[in-house]
Structure 1
Amino acid sequence: MESLVKSQLNDLDEILNIDREVIGSDSRRKYIKKAIEEERCIAIKNEFSFVGFLIFDTHFFDCSFISLIIVKPTERRKGYASALMEYFISISPTKKIFSSTNQSNKRMQEVFKENGFIQSGFVENLDEGDPEIIYFKLT
Structure 2
Amino acid sequence: MNIEMSSRIRVRAADATDLPALVAIDAIAAAGDEVRARSIRRWLDQGSVSVAEDPSGILGYGVLEYTFFEQGFVTMVTVSPGARRRGVGARLLQAVEASCSTPKPFTSTNVSNHPMQLLLQQLGWHPAGLVHGLDEADPELFYLCPPERLRPRWIGLGPHRRVGPRTGELPASRWSPRRTPTTEGWPCGS
TM-score under structure 1 normalisation?
A: 0.94
RMSD after superposition:
1.4
Aligned to 2:23: 16
- 1:89 aligned residue: 97
Helix, strand or coil at the partner of 1:77: coil
Query: Larger deviation: 77-86 or 14-23?
Result: 14-23
- Equivalent residue for 1:78, pick from 72, 82, 86: 86
When structure 1 is superposed on structure 2, of 13-22 and 94-103 the one drifting more is: 13-22
Local SS of the residue matching 1:130 = coil
CA distance in 2, matches of 1:22, 1:132: 21
Q: Which structure's residues are more often strand, by fraction?
A: 1
Q: Which has the higher contact order (CA 8 A, sep 6+)?
A: 2
Give how far 1:46 is off.
1.4
1:49 corresponding residue in structure 2 = 57
Identify which range, 21-30 or 2-11, moves more after superposition.
Answer: 21-30
Q: Which runs of 4+ in 1 moved over 2 A?
A: 20-27
- Partner Cα separation in structure 2 for residue 43 and residue 131 of structure 1: 27
Q: 1:72 to 1:8 in 2, by over 3 A?
A: same
Deviates more, 1:4-13 or 1:25-34: 25-34
Contact 2:29-2:37 at 8 Å conserved across structures? no
The verdict on how the C-alpha distance between 1:118 and 1:23 changes in structure 2, with shifts beyond 3 A counting, is farther
1:40 and 1:57 mapped to 2: Cα distance?
A: 6
Contact 1:22 1:72 in 2 (8 A): no
Gaps of 5+ in 2: 1-7, 151-190
**Residues 26 and 46 of structure 1, relative CA distance in 2, 3 Å threshold:** farther
- How many residue pairs are counted as aligned between the two chains? 139
Contact 1:65 1:99 in 2 (8 A): yes
Identity %: 27
- Taking a change above 3 Å as real, the CA distance of residues 21 and 50 of structure 1, as seen in their structure-2 partners, is farther
* Alignment CA distance shift 1:23-1:125 (3 Å): farther
